[in-house]
Chain A
Amino acid sequence: MATFKDFRNNVKPNWCPGCGDFSVQAAIQRAAANVGLEPENLAVVSGIGCSGRISGYINSYGFHGIHGRSLPIAQGVKMANRDLTVIASGGDGDGFAIGMGHTIHAIRRNVNITYIVMDNQIYGLTKGQTSPRSAAGFKTKSTPQGSIEQAISPMEMALTAGATFVAQSFSTDLKDLTALIEAGIQHDGFSLINVFSPCVTYNKVNTYDWFKENLTKLSDIEGYDNSNRELAMQTLMKHDGLLTGLIYQNTERKSYQELLSGYSETPLSKADLNLDQAHFDKLAAEFM
C-alpha cells in the first residue's frame, strides 16, 4: 500500500518560502495515502497561478491546464474514467474570477470530484493585484485606492448553488485539512474545499497571524450541525465566512454519475470502441 511518501516526486516547488501551498500539497499527499490510493489512480488537474503548479509537485497523474479551466478538464477526466480519484485545484483568482462560471456549474452538476482552492486573497504570480477574494478597501497594484468591489463569499455561494460538500480550512492546520480532503475524496459528489493559504510575499493583510486571530473552528461552535443548510448559511454570515471545518454535507443527493442514465459502470476509457454491424445497421435504418 502506498504511503504519503509515494505521492512525493523529485520536483522542487517554485513557491516562495513560507507559502501556504506547501501544506496543501502535503495534505493532498497524506490524504491520498490515507484513503488507500495508489499514485497512478489519482489525477490532479490544476489551473494557472502559483497554486496551479501543484499538479506538478505530486507523484500522480497531473494535468496543468489553462487559467480558470481546471474544473471542466477534471470533470472530463472523471467522466472518462470513473475509477480514478480526481482532484481539481487552483487559486482564488482561478476559481472565483476567470473560472467562476465553471465553479458554480461544477457545484450544481455534482460530478464526483474534489476541488481544492488555495485562497490567498491576492494575485501572486502576476505580482500583486486584487482578487475576487480581496476585502473591500484592500490596496494592491491594481487597486491603489483600495478595492471598491465586494469580496466573493465562496462558501455561501456554494451553498446557494446546491453544493453537497462545502468545507474550509487553514493551511497550517495540516491534520484538519488532511481529514477534510479525505472526507472530500470519499464524498459521493462534488466536494469544495476552500483553503486559506497565505501569500507571504504580496498579501501583508491576510497573514498567518491574521487568520489565527480571525478564524473560528466549527468544532468550537456548540451544537453545530453540518447537515443543516440553513444553519450553515446563518453561521457563515455571522462569522463573515471565516470558519474552518466541514460546513455542510448532503449525503442524500446522488452524484451526477449515479443519476446519469445509461452511464457505464466500468470506466468509459476501458470500453470497447467497436460498434457491431447490427447496431450500426439499426442506427442507419432510422434515416431511411
Chain B
Amino acid sequence: MINQLSWKVGGQQGEGIESTGEIFSIALNRLGYYLYGYRHFSSRIKGGHTNNKIRVSTSQIRSISDDLDILVAFDQETIDLNYKELHDKGIMIADAKFDPKQPEDTKAALYAVPFTEIATELGTSLMKNMVAVGATCAVLNLDIKVFEEVVQEIFGRKGQQVVDKNMEAIQAGFDFMKEKLSDDVELMELEKADGMKRLFMIGNDAIALGALAAGCRFMAAYPITPASEIMEYLIKKLPALGGSVIQTEDEIAAATMAIGANYAGVRALTASAGPGLSLKMEAIGLSGITETPLVIVDTQRGGPSTGLPTKQEQSDLMAMIYGTHGEIPKIVLAPSTVQEAFYDTAEAFNLAEEYQCPVIVLSDLQLSLGKQTVEPLDFSKVEIRRGKLATEELPEIENKGYFKRFEVTEDGVSPRVIPGMKNGIHHVTGVEHDETGKPSESAANRNAQMDKRFRKIENIKFNTPVHKNAPHEEADLLIVGFNSTRGAIEEAMGRLEKDGVKVNHAQVRLIHPFPADELLPLVKSAKKIAVVENNATGQLANIMKMNVGHAEKVHKLLKYDGNPFLPHEIHTKCKELF
C-alpha cells in the first residue's frame, strides 16, 4: 500500500488529455484523497505536447512531486519527454496505436494498450482516454465504480447510452491491463482515503469565488493566459446577482472601466497577467491619485513581453510594487494557497475601500491553474467593510461649495461619497488637487495631499502578512517564498529537518507595504536565509534586503526556466549552503 501516487497523462494538445486528467482527479478527490495537478501546455489550440501531472495523497500536498509512478502516453513524444521522471518501478501505459518504443535508459516498464482500438470498437475513438483511465485503475487495483458518478455527470446530458459506453471503455481498459500485468508487478494500491468532501479547484476559481463572496458585482477584463478563468467564472455567476462582466477592447479599458465602476460605488474587479498589467499601469496611477478603490489580479506568467505565456514565473513583483509613474500608495497581496487566494481576494475589496487605493492580488500560473484539493472555505470569515463610504444623508454645502472628498485627515483616509448622493458633489481628477478635487499646483497643497495619501498605508491592517512555520528559536536556515512555492518549500523543509538542518519557513502574503517587522525576528534568529523564487534576479530577496537588512545572510534560490520548483531542487540547493 502506498500513501501517495504521481500520475501523468500526456499527448497532443486538443486530444482530450485534460478531460482524462479531470475525470481521474474528480473521482479520487471525492474519495477523500488530496490532489495536486499541474498542466504543461502551449500557447496554441491544437497540437504540441501537453500533459497533466496529478499527485494523489492521503494527506495535504501543495507541490508537484519529484518523480513519477505512472505515465499514460498517447504518443511517443510523451514518453520521450517525460520518461526520465519515472522511478525504477514506474510504469508507462501507452497507446498501442503508435507502436511505443521503450527508451533504453529506464527501468520503468512499458505496457502497450490499444486505447484507440478498444475505444473505436466500442463506438468512437474519442473514448480512448476512458480506456486509459481504466488501464490506470488496473495498476492501482482501484474499483472502476468510483468513476460512475463522474461519467454520469459529464455525459448524462448526452444520454444513458453514452454514459454506459464510456463506463464500458473504462472496464475494457481495466480488463486488458489486468490481463497484461505480470504477476510479479507490484500494484500501486493507495491507502484508503478519509472519504471527506473537499473542494477541487484552481486558484483562479478561488479568486473569482472570493470576489463574489466579497460583493464584487462587476468585472471588466480582457482575455489572457493564465487569468481568463476568473472572468469566465464571473460571466457565468454574476447575472444571477444582477451583475455583469464586460469583455473590453483592451487592458486599459478593463482597468479604467473598473475604476469608473468603483468610483460609482460598485465593487468592481479586473484581472490579467503581466502584459496586461504593463498596459494598466497608468490606470493604476489614476486609482492611486484619485483615491478610487480598485482590485486588480495579476496572475504572473513567464515574461518579459509575451515571454513564456503558459509557464510558471514570479517576475512581476517589482513591477507590481513600484509600477505606474510617480508615487502612489498601493497594497500588494500574494496568497500562497488556493484557500488564501479565496480569503485574500475577498479581503482585497475591503482594503481597497478602507484605504481607497489600488490593491493588487498577485498570483502565479501554478497557483492560478494548478487544480488541487482544498479544505472547505469558511464563508463566515468573509466580512464586508466599506471604510469611510458615506451612507447617511449629507449636510448641505453653502455657496455651491464642493464636498471635501480629499479632506486631509489624521489617518489620511477621507470621507467618500459616490455619484448620485445629494450634497456630495465634488471633482475627481488625476491632476494634483485640493480637498474638494479642484486642480491645484500649490506646493503646500501638494505636500498636504501627498502626505495624506501615503499616511493611509502606514499602518495597514492585514490578518496574516506572513505565513510562518517557525518551530526553532534559533534556526540554521530561514526559507522565504511567496505565492505557489509554498508546497515545495514545505516538503523541502521536512527533508532538511531529517538531515538535521533546523529550518524556519516564512511565506510572505503581504508584499507591499512590506511586513519588515513581522520578518525581522525570523531573519535575526536564522544563520542563513534562502529566498526561493521563480525569477532570474531575486526580486523578493532584494526587497527583503532593502526592508529588513541582513543582506549578508540572504541567498537567492532562483528558477526561471518556466517550471515550478520541485521539492528536491530546494532541498539540494539549501543543503549546498551548508
Interface residues of A (CB under 8 A from B): 8-11, 38-41, 43, 45, 55-56, 59-66, 69, 71-81, 83-84, 101-102, 104-105, 109, 260-264, 266-271, 273-275, 277, 280-281, 283-284, 287-288
A235–B262 Cα distance when bound, in Å, is: 42
> Which residues in B have their C-beta under 8 angstroms from that of A268?
217-218, 242-243, 261, 266
> Which residues in A have their C-beta under 8 angstroms from that of B283?
66, 69
29 contacts between A and B (CB under 8 A): A40-B421, A41-B420, A56-B439, A61-B419, A65-B256, A65-B259, A72-B253, A73-B263, A76-B218, A76-B220, A76-B256, A76-B257, A76-B262, A76-B264, A78-B264, A79-B261, A79-B266, A80-B265, A84-B264, A102-B249, A104-B249, A262-B239, A263-B239, A268-B217, A271-B266, A275-B212, A275-B379, A283-B237, A288-B30
> Which residues in B have their C-beta under 8 angstroms from that of A273?
214-215, 217, 267, 384
**Which partner residue on chain A sits nearest B258 by CB separation?**
A76
A119–B220 Cα distance when bound, in Å, is: 29
> Which residues in B have their C-beta under 8 angstroms from that of A277?
379-380
A60–B425 Cα distance when bound, in Å, is: 6
Which of B203-218 touch A at CB < 8 Å?
Answer: 205, 209, 212-215, 217-218
Lowest 4 CB-CB distances: which A-B pairs, in order?
A76-B260, A262-B239, A273-B215, A264-B242
Contact (Cβ within 8 A) A66 B198: no
A271–B418 Cα distance when bound, in Å, is: 14
A43-B419, A63-B263, A81-B419 given as contacts; is B249 within 8 A of A101 (CB)?
yes
A205–chain B nearest beta-carbon distance, Å: 30
A72-B253, A263-B244, A287-B201 given as contacts; is B264 within 8 A of A80 (CB)?
yes
Of the residues B199, B400, B427, contact of A287 by C-beta under 8 Å: B199
A102–B575 Cα distance when bound, in Å, is: 54
A75-B246, A273-B267, A288-B198 given as contacts; is B261 within 8 A of A66 (CB)?
no
| Interface 9-residue window, one of B41-49, B428-436, B566-574 | B428-436
Contact (Cβ within 8 A) B256 A269: no
A102–chain B nearest beta-carbon distance, Å: 6
**For the complex, is B303 an interface residue (Cβ under 8 Å from A)?**
no
**For the complex, is B86 an interface residue (Cβ under 8 Å from A)?**
no
A62–B402 Cα distance when bound, in Å, is: 11
Q: Chain B CB within 10 Å — which of A61, A81, A263, A271 has the most?
A: A61
Contact (Cβ within 8 A) B257 A72: yes
> Which residues in A have their C-beta under 8 angstroms from that of B205?
287
**Which partner residue on chain A sits nearest B417 by CB separation?**
A61
Contact (Cβ within 8 A) A73 B243: no
> Which residues in B have their C-beta under 8 angstroms from that of A40?
419-425
A125–chain B nearest beta-carbon distance, Å: 12
Contact (Cβ within 8 A) A45 B260: yes
Chain B interface residue count, Cβ-Cβ cutoff 8 angstroms = 74
Main secondary structure of the interface of B (DSSP, over half): mixed
Of the residues B257, B421, B422, B438, contact of A79 by C-beta under 8 Å: B257
A21–B478 Cα distance when bound, in Å, is: 63
> Which residues in A have their C-beta under 8 angstroms from that of B198?
288
**For the complex, is B326 an interface residue (Cβ under 8 Å from A)?**
no
B152–chain A nearest beta-carbon distance, Å: 15
A75–B199 Cα distance when bound, in Å, is: 36
A147–B37 Cα distance when bound, in Å, is: 58
Given pairs A76-B264, A105-B249, 15 additional interface contacts (CB within 8 A): A9-B402, A40-B419, A43-B264, A59-B425, A69-B252, A72-B248, A72-B257, A72-B260, A74-B260, A77-B260, A101-B249, A102-B253, A264-B217, A268-B218, A269-B265
A83–B421 Cα distance when bound, in Å, is: 12
**Which partner residue on chain A sits nearest B371 by CB separation?**
A287
Contact (Cβ within 8 A) B379 A280: yes
> Which residues in A have their C-beta under 8 angstroms from that of B214?
273
> Which residues in B have their C-beta under 8 angstroms from that of A284?
199, 209, 376-377, 379
> Which residues in A have their C-beta under 8 angstroms from that of B218?
76, 79-80, 268
**Which partner residue on chain A sits nearest B428 by CB separation?**
A63
B379–chain A nearest beta-carbon distance, Å: 4
A216–B162 Cα distance when bound, in Å, is: 68
A270–B304 Cα distance when bound, in Å, is: 41
Of the residues B199, B264, B426, contact of A81 by C-beta under 8 Å: B264
**Which partner residue on chain A sits nearest B199 by CB separation?**
A287
A283–B237 Cα distance when bound, in Å, is: 9
A74–B248 Cα distance when bound, in Å, is: 13
> Which residues in A have their C-beta under 8 angstroms from that of B199?
284, 287-288
B28–chain A nearest beta-carbon distance, Å: 13
> Which residues in A have their C-beta under 8 angstroms from that of B425?
39-40, 59-61
A284-B199, A284-B209 given as contacts; is B266 within 8 A of A80 (CB)?
yes
> Which residues in A have their C-beta under 8 angstroms from that of B418?
81, 269
A64-B427, A72-B260, A262-B244 given as contacts; is B217 within 8 A of A81 (CB)?
no
**Which partner residue on chain B sits nearest A267 by CB separation?**
B420
**Which partner residue on chain B sits nearest A73 by CB separation?**
B260
A101–B249 Cα distance when bound, in Å, is: 7
**Which partner residue on chain B sits nearest A81 by CB separation?**
B264
Of the residues A55, A267, A274, contact of B427 by C-beta under 8 Å: A55
B157–chain A nearest beta-carbon distance, Å: 16
Contact (Cβ within 8 A) B249 A10: no
Of the residues B254, B256, B419, B439, contact of A84 by C-beta under 8 Å: B419
Contact (Cβ within 8 A) B400 A10: yes
B286–chain A nearest beta-carbon distance, Å: 5
**For the complex, is B185 an interface residue (Cβ under 8 Å from A)?**
no
A145–chain B nearest beta-carbon distance, Å: 32
**For the complex, is B399 an interface residue (Cβ under 8 Å from A)?**
yes
Contact (Cβ within 8 A) B421 A72: no
> Which residues in B have their C-beta under 8 angstroms from that of A271?
217, 241-243, 266
B437–chain A nearest beta-carbon distance, Å: 8
Q: Chain B CB within 10 Å — which of A80, A102, A269, A277 has the most?
A: A80
**For the complex, is B77 an interface residue (Cβ under 8 Å from A)?**
no
A273–B267 Cα distance when bound, in Å, is: 8
A273–B213 Cα distance when bound, in Å, is: 8
A74–B257 Cα distance when bound, in Å, is: 7
> Which residues in B have their C-beta under 8 angstroms from that of A270?
265
A61–B265 Cα distance when bound, in Å, is: 13
> Which residues in A have their C-beta under 8 angstroms from that of B286?
65-66
A83–B240 Cα distance when bound, in Å, is: 20
A56-B439, A65-B286 given as contacts; is B379 within 8 A of A262 (CB)?
no
> Which residues in B have their C-beta under 8 angstroms from that of A275?
212-213, 215, 241, 379
Of the residues B201, B240, B399, B430, contact of A65 by C-beta under 8 Å: B430
A7–chain B nearest beta-carbon distance, Å: 10
A275–B374 Cα distance when bound, in Å, is: 21
> Which residues in A have their C-beta under 8 angstroms from that of B262?
76, 80
Of the residues B30, B243, B282, contact of A66 by C-beta under 8 Å: B282
**For the complex, is B200 an interface residue (Cβ under 8 Å from A)?**
yes
Q: Chain A CB within 10 Å — which of B205, B248, B429 has the most?
A: B429
> Which residues in B have their C-beta under 8 angstroms from that of A263?
239, 242-244
Of the residues A41, A64, A261, contact of B429 by C-beta under 8 Å: A64
**For the complex, is B197 an interface residue (Cβ under 8 Å from A)?**
yes
